[in-house]
Structure formats: C-alpha cells, structure tokens
C-alpha cells in the first residue's frame, strides 16, 4: 500500500470517529422510534428537536401525510435513552421557538408513572397531540372587544413602565430567584410523595371544574363580580401603592411563619392519616351519643339538676366554712397518721429480744406478744372455768421469800425455789420525760433490746425447814398419794406436755376420767399406766 493511500484511509477513519464522538451517535444501536399523528404539522421539518421540559431528547426523522384525505400528518421521531420511558398516555405538542411563527419543535410529556410503557414504534393518537396557534387564528380571535381589552392592557402596562415603574421592575428581579426556587418547591410538592397523589389531585380539580361548568350563569356572575372587584381595587390605586411597603413587611414576618408551618405539615399529615379512620367512624359514635346528650340535657333542666343546685346554694357558704375549719382537724389527723406510721407501727412490729430464752423463744413482735395477757385476764374474770366453778392457780414454794407492797400499803410475801437472777428491762431511775412540745412523728422509736439489771433486793433466801426440804411425792396432792401414782408417770406427763404431745394428767383425773380423756385424745392405754397414739386418729 502506498503512503498516500494509507494516509487517506487514516484521515477518513479519524473524520468518521470525530463525527460520532461529537454527535454522540452510535450507528450500531437501535434507536427508540416514536410515531405521533397531528391535525397539522405546521411546517415542522426533519431534524426539528424533540424536547422534554426544555431539554432536547430526540429529533424528527420524517413528516408525512396520512394519505387518507383527513388532513392528518404523521411525524416519526427518534428518542434518546434520557428521554425514556414514554408511557401510553404521553402527550405531544408542536410549539414555536419564536413568537407565533417559526422554528418549531415537538414538546413531549412522557406521561404518568402509573401508565403502561409504550414500546418502540408505537403511535400516539391525535387525541393526545396538539399544534400551535397560527398567526391568522390570532387575528381571527382579536375581535373588536378583544382588541379594546388589549389596548387597555397595553395602556396600563405603559403607565406601569413609565416614571419609576422600570426601577420597581428592576428591583423586582432581585426577588425572582427565591420566588422561582419556592415555586419549584411548590411544583415538586404538587407531584406528591406517594403513588397516585397527583392523580387524586387532578381528579379533585376535575370535580371542581365540573361543578363550576354545571352552572354557567353562576360562573358568569363570578367573572362579573371579579371584574367589579378588580375595578374597585384599581380605583384605589393610591391606597394600593401605600399597601405595597406594608405587604413587604408582612412577607418578611410571614416567611418564617410559613417555614415553621411547612416543617409542621409532615406531623399534621401523619396525624390526619391516623385520625382518618376515627373520623370515618365518628358518625356512628355521634349517633350513639345523641341519646345520652338528650338525657344529659334533661338532667340539667329546671326539674332536675338546676333545681337541685338552687336548693343547695344556701348550704354552699356553710360547706366552705366547714372546709376552712377542717384544715386544723386534717393537720392533727396527718400528725397522728405520721406518728402511727413512723413510730407506733415500727415499734409494734419489732421482735422482742430475750437472750435468756434464745433457744425456746421465737422473738415474736409486740403486737403478737401483748394480746396473750388478755387470755389470762379473760380466764380470771370468768365465774367458772371449763371443769368446775373454782379458779385454778399455780402455787409454788421454796427457800426464797419474796416481799412486795400491796396497793393499800400492806406487806405481801411469797416463797420461790430460787432468788431473782436479774430483771429485763431494768427499772429506770426516773420516769421517761413527757414532751408534748415535740411532734410524735419525729420522736425516737422505743428500743426493746434492753440490758439485764441485777435481781431485786426485796428477795432473800429463807432457812430450810427442820429436817430438810420435802421430797416430790410428799408434795403431791392427798388423792394422788392415796392412788399411789408412780412418779415416773408424772415425769413422763410433764415431758409430753412440754413437747406438745397429747397426754393425760395422772394426778388430775380418776381412772374413769383417764379413760374418757384417752378416748377424746385418740390414745390407747398400755401396761404400766402409759398411753400410745392410735394410728389414723387425729386429736
């Protein structure tokens, strides 16, 4: 190959590569083709741009007549990937880039997201296309009354642009950027946040416009009233001129308020969404409440609560005075309750310690120990006990004499086997101080854990009687000595009684009485005067 031929081939390849690089055309890819039928093509030419929201996404490849005598034109377009997808409800309109005439392009609206996607080669029907207004149609529409209105419009525009009007218009441009930005936010909000928000908005607007179109007379009156209102505002142009600066101040204050309102709208929207089921069911709730409201209304009638209030009105001052005087009573009641909770109850629930009987004593609290004395008092107050009309008391003896002074000053004494080892609690030297000036709730809880004091000096050992102390059989009752009760039975009886086992006192009962007691206690007699428990028998 000659150098000239090789150079020519290289130049051709570079030219073809540069063409595809700058045009971004890919000859090996399948372009998306879209057909649309228009009532008039309006001098739309090949390579005319196809735009979506002002951005070019394709070009017109062919414009041809339908050939069926309808005057319709078929336009074939190639759409780039950035213009896809295109839905079946897409709309197209031929627009001019100059005022009224010249430089036409196809304005494409791809359609709603919920519609089905249109495949390549699909056709948009004439019902979804539109063509621009021609200059001749504009002149036809400009009748005499319309021309007069346009003259008034241009005259007012001339007045507005005269004098300081251009300066105000120039100052207005400074607010265009935030105005456009806020308008973009409004338009984005109109698209909705959830599926079918925009379609529901359009359905609502269609219902509103349908309702307006049903009554044409009312719509005409509305236009007339608006014309009257605008005329009245125009007659007060001086006052309106003075209102504009105040409106600017209102906008300065209102913009933060609207921003705060905008920030609260999501919460309000969520509340409205949550409250919607309750609002839908409120009708049934109100229907159920109407009978109650009717009864409540009758309750406050003159014959019911209103009359009762009139009768009770004279007693209200006395009740108020009672409430006022009850304050002091409640103060004392509160102090008494606090004393009971902080002092009396802790004292009564504290176990009483007794080191001398630590092995056998359960350490019961005061509220359990103190009532036991009433049992003995109740027994002593009876005229007869369970067995006879005599009191049964314990008698003791021993070498120790105990002295005491009676209520009338007489000297009393008794005999005990041993002298007092000590006393708990010790006798205080003086009575505890009585302090009524200190609230009971702040006083210290009594401490029952007291030390042991020496024995009372009013006891002294007595000399043993001549011949020494008598033996235990000699101390038994006469009937026990006559019945010759073995001392072992008495000792066993005392042991069983101390252990809490059922037993029969061999000294207290006769032979017949012991048989009756054995039957009652479920015991069986054994040789030697003892008893055993019968199996299966409860006491």
Residue 57 has pLDDT above 80, yes or no: yes
Q: Using CA atoms, how far apart are residues 36 and 30, in angstroms rounded to an integer?
A: 19
Which residues, other chains included, contact 522 with Cβ-Cβ below 8 Å and sequence gap of 6+?
502, 533, 534, 537, 538, 539
Tell me the CA distances in angstroms from 495 to 407, 492, 505, 538, one per residue in order.
Answer: 38, 5, 11, 20
pLDDT tens for residues 98-111?
655 557 888 999 88
211 and 157 share a domain?
Answer: yes
Residue 37 structure tokens: 């039928």
Looking at the domain assignment, is residue 5 inside a domain? no
pLDDT in tens, 212-258: 777 777 878 888 888 888 888 778 777 777 777 777 788 788 888 88
> What are φ and ψ of residue 179, in 5° steps?
-65, -45
Query: What is the rounded average pLDDT of the residues 269-288?
Result: 83
b/e sequence 66-76, b meaning 16+ C-beta within 10 Å: eeeeeebbbbb
Flag whether 15 is in a domain.
Answer: no
- Number of domains the chain is built from: 4
- Ranges 149-153, 464-468, 534-538, most confident: 149-153
Which residues lie below 8 Å from residue 401, measured CB to CB, with a gap of 6+?
Answer: 413, 414, 415, 416, 459, 460, 461, 462
Position 304 in a domain = no
What are the beta bridge partners of residue 525? 531
Kindly indicate the confidence band of residue 78, based on its pLDDT and cuts at 50, 70 and 90: very high
CA distance 459 to 477: 28
183, part of any domain = yes
Task: Select the more confidently predicted residue: 355 or 383.
Answer: 355
Whether residue 165 is predicted with pLDDT greater than 80 in this model: the reply is no
Distances (CA, A) of 454 to 89, 358, 405, 450: 114, 19, 20, 13
Whether residue 425 has a cis bond before it, omega within 30° of 0 = yes
Structure tokens at 126: 């004439």
Q: Is the pTM of this model over 0.95?
A: no
> What was the pLDDT predicted at 358?
66
Highest mean pLDDT among 203-212, 341-350, 500-509: 341-350
Answer with the residue of higher pLDDT: 142 or 181: 181
What tokens were used for 210? 């349908």
How far apart are the C-alpha atoms of 177 and 480, rounded to whole Å?
A: 126
In a domain, 343, yes or no: no
Decide if 60 contacts 152 (C-beta within 8 A): no
pLDDT of 461 > 70? The answer is no
Q: Give yes or no: residues 464 and 477 share one domain.
A: no
Helix axes of 144-161 and 165-172: crossing angle, nearest 10 degrees: 90
Last residue of a domain, one of 226, 252, 280: 280
Domain for residue 223, yes or no?
yes
- % of the chain with per-residue pLDDT over 90: 4
- Where is the domain boundary, 261, 280, 299? 280
The DSSP element (H or E) to which 460 belongs, if any, is strand 459-461
H or E segment and range at residue 415: strand 411-416
pLDDT of residue 469: 46
Query: For the stretch 471-480, what's the b/e string if a residue is b when 16 or more beta carbons lie within 10 angstroms of its beta carbon?
Result: eeeeebeeeb
Q: In the numeric block, which tokens belong to residue 235?
A: 């007659």
Q: How far apart are CA 406 and CA 115, in angstroms?
A: 116
Same domain, 448 and 484: no
Q: What pLDDT does residue 496 have?
A: 83
Rg of the chain over all Cα atoms, to the nearest angstrom: 59
Token pair for 111 = 């359609």
If asked whether residues 193 and 253 sit together in one domain, one would say yes
Residues 94 and 162 in one domain: no
Q: Domain range holding 447?
A: 394-469
154 and 262 share a domain?
Answer: yes
Residues 187 and 247 in one domain: yes
Beta bridge partners of 37: 74
* pLDDT at residue number 338: 92
The DSSP code for 533 is: E
Which of these three, 139, 164, 193, is where a domain ends?
Answer: 139
ω before 273 within 30° of 0 (cis)?
Answer: no
Quick check: is 21 in a domain?
no
Residues 222 and 110 in one domain: no
Alpha carbon distance 36, 106 (integer Å)? 10
Task: Identify whether residues 465 and 480 lie together within a single domain.
Answer: no
Highest mean pLDDT, choosing among 158-167, 206-215, 469-478: 206-215
Whether 294 is in a domain gets the answer no
DSSP letter string over 121-160? Answer: T-EE-GGGEE-PPPHHHHHHH--HHHHHHHHHHHHHHHHH
How far are the Cα atoms of 198, 376, 379, 390 from residue 382, in angstroms, in the given order?
A: 98, 10, 5, 10
SS3 of 526, please?
coil
Average pLDDT of the chain is 77
Query: Are residues 419 and 480 both part of a single domain?
Result: no
Which segment of 187-196, 257-266, 513-522 scores lowest on mean pLDDT? 187-196
* Residue 44 pLDDT: 80
The per-residue pLDDT for 281 is 81
Judgement on whether residues 165 and 242 belong to the same structural domain of the protein: yes
177 and 257: one domain? Answer: yes
């Amino acid at each position: 190959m000659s150098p000239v031929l090789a150079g020519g081939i290289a130049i051709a390849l570079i030219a073809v590569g540069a063409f595809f690089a700058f045009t971004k055309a890919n000859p090996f890819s399948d372009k998306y083709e879209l057909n649309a039928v228009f009532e008039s093509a309006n001098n739309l030419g090949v390579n005319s741009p196809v735009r979506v929201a002002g951005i070019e996404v394709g070009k017109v490849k062919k414009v041809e007549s339908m050939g069926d005598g309808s005057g319709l034109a078929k336009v074939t377009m190639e759409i780039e990937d950035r213009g896809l997808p295109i839905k079946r409800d897409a709309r197209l309109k031929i627009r001019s880039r100059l005022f009224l005439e010249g430089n036409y392009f196809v304005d494409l609206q791809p359609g709603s997201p919920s519609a089905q996607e249109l495949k390549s080669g699909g056709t948009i029907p004439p019902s979804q296309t539109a063509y621009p207004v021609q200059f001749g149609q504009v002149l036809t529409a400009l009748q005499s009354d319309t021309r007069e209105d346009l003259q008034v419009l241009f005259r007012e525009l001339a007045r507005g642009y005269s004098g300081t009007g251009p300066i105000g218009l120039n100052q207005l441009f400074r607010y265009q950027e935030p105005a456009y930005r806020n308008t973009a936010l409004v338009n984005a909000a109109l698209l909705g946040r959830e599926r079918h928000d925009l379609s529901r908005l359009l359905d609502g607007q269609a219902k509103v416009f349908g309702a307006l179109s049903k009554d044409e007379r009312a719509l005409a009156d509305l236009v007339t009233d608006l014309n009257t209102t605008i005329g009245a505002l125009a007659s007060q142009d001086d006052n309106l001129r003075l209102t504009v600066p105040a409106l600017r101040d209102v906008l300065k204050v209102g913009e933060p308020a609207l921003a705060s309102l905008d920030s609260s709208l999501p919460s309000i929207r969520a509340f409205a969404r949550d409250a919607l089921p309750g609002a839908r069911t409120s009708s049934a709730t109100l229907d159920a409440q109407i009978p109650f409201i009717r009864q409540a209304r009758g309750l406050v009638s003159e014959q019911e609560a209103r009359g009762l209030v009139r009768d009770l009105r004279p007693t209200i001052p006395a009740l108020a005075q009672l409430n006022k005087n009850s304050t002091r009573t409640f103060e004392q009641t509160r102090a008494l309750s606090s004393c009971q909770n902080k002092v009396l109850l802790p004292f009564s629930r504290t176990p009483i310690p007794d080191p001398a009987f630590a092995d056998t004593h359960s350490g019961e609290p005061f509220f359990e120990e103190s009532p036991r004395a009433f049992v003995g008092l109740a027994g002593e107050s009876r005229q007869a006990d369970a067995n006879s009309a005599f009191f049964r008391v314990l008698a003791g003896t021993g070498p120790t004499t105990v002295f005491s002074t009676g209520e009338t000053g007489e000297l009393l004494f008794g005999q005990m086997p041993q002298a007092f080892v000590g006393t708990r609690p010790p006798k205080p030297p003086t009575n505890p101080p009585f302090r009524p000036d200190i609230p009971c709730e702040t006083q210290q809880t009594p401490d029952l854990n007291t030390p042991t004091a020496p024995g009372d000096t009013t006891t002294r050992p007595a000399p043993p009687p001549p011949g020494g102390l008598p033996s235990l059989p000699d101390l038994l009752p006469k009937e026990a000595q006559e019945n010759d009760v073995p001392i072992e039975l008495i000792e066993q009886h005392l042991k069983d009684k101390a252990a809490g086992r059922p037993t029969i006192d061999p000294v207290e009962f006769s032979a017949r009485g012991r048989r009756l007691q054995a039957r009652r206690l479920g015991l069986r007699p054994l040789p030697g005067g003892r008893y055993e428990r019968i199996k299966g028998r409860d006491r």
